[in-house]
Amino acid sequence: MSEPASTATVVGTLTVPGEHLPRVELSGTAVSTLRELWDEFGPLMFHQSGGCCDGSSPMCFPAGEFITSDRDVLLGRLDIAPAGAEPRSIEFWISAEQFEYWSHTFLTVDVVPGRGSGFSVEAPRGVRFLIRSRLMDSFA
């Protein structure tokens, strides 16, 4: 896969009860990569746990292939469809423990060169998803 062209960032919807600010976005490069992966695998989802690389590597799966539990938090839905096209919504889930650990941060999913996790769909492509975080000014 060649390096994707950058597009605009996509900010997730509000899904955390009681909050008034989004918590997750996709970089333009992540959007481009996810559009290619969607074309190959169909609908996608992310799950972020604290297990790998201090939790900096989210895992991308075909939607429904990773079973979430009541201990996971739906951090947002991100629509990667180009303007005017049918929606292509990707759910971003995070483990409750990781959500608590990152409770004061806004997450940006980006793509960098390197080998991803063996279970994440981008792994064979020479790139991996990476979380970049920044402190949030307000949480509610």
127 with 4: CB under 8 angstroms?
no
Tell me 94's DSSP state: E
Q: Quick check: helix, strand or coil at residue 53?
A: helix
Residue-by-residue pLDDT tens, the chain, 140 positions: 444 455 899 999 999 999 999 999 999 999 999 999 999 999 999 999 866 555 568 999 999 999 999 999 999 999 999 999 999 999 999 999 999 989 899 999 999 998 766 689 998 899 999 999 999 876 55
Cα(39)–Cα(35) distance, integer angstroms: 6
What CATH class is the domain 22-135? mainly beta
124 with 115: CB under 8 angstroms?
no
Please state whether 71 falls in left (phi above 0), alpha (psi between -120 and 50) or beta.
alpha
Structure tokens belonging to residue 40: 């190959």
Statement: the pTM of the whole predicted model exceeds 0.85: yes
Residue 77's identity, in one-letter code, is R
Cα(15)–Cα(77) distance, integer angstroms: 8
